[in-house]
Amino acid sequence: MKSRMRIRSALIKRRKQKGAALVEFAIVLPLLLLVVFGIIEFSLAIYDKAVITNASREAARAGIVLASPKPTTAQIQQVATNYCSSYLVSLGSSANTCPAANVSVSGAQGTFGSPVTVTVSYTFAPIGLGKLIAPLTGPLTMSATTTMNNE
């Protein structure tokens, strides 16, 4: 008789523990999802920053290489825009475009040793969590500047 009561009380405890685990999971799940989506959002922002840095570097390099005739400002800007449209992760925008990237070039037609400066600015478009935080912080604008001397 005592063994039956022990078995029954053990079963009741086990059922209560299963319910407690479910409640704990329900409490922890939103926090876990918040961390996971935060990591994804931050990773996309860092990737886009690397892309605009490389775009400014590629455009500056295209502007300083010894060529005849020298590349124009528009051609240098096109190099950066093409790079952005190929590699920038802009979720929610149309494919193969770089709508939020602004490219400015100074010193494009310079002589030997004069600097060419290319600046690429981009407003990061968040996918999930950033849209909740954006009204408080405003848009995240990233920029990258590269200066190289003419060859």
Q: Beta-carbon neighbour count of residue 120 at 10 Å?
A: 31
Residue type, 78: Q
- The number of helix segments (H) and strand segments (E) in the chain equals 3, 3
Q: What's the pLDDT score for residue 112?
A: 83
Contact between residue 149 and residue 110 where contact means Cβ atoms under 8 Å apart? no
pLDDT of residue 96: 44
Any idea where the domains of the chain sit in the sequence?
A: 6-150
Burial classification of residue 4, based on how many CB atoms lie within 10 Å of its CB (0-12 exposed, 13-18 middle, 19 or more buried)? exposed
Report the distance separating Cα 28 and Cα 113, nearest Å. Answer: 60
Q: What DSSP character marks residue 100?
A: T
pLDDT in the model for residue 62: 92
pLDDT at 69: 86
pLDDT score of 32: 94
In this predicted structure, what is the pLDDT of residue 148? 93
Q: What is the mean pLDDT of each run of 10 residues along the chain (151 residues)?
A: 68 68 89 90 91 94 87 91 84 53 85 90 80 74 92 77
Residues 6+ apart with CB under 8 A from 55: 79, 80, 81, 83, 84, 87, 101, 103, 120, 144
Q: Whole-model pTM? A: 0.76
- Can the peptide bond before residue 69 be classed as cis, meaning omega within 30 degrees of 0? yes
Q: In the beta sheet, which residues pair with residue 109?
A: none
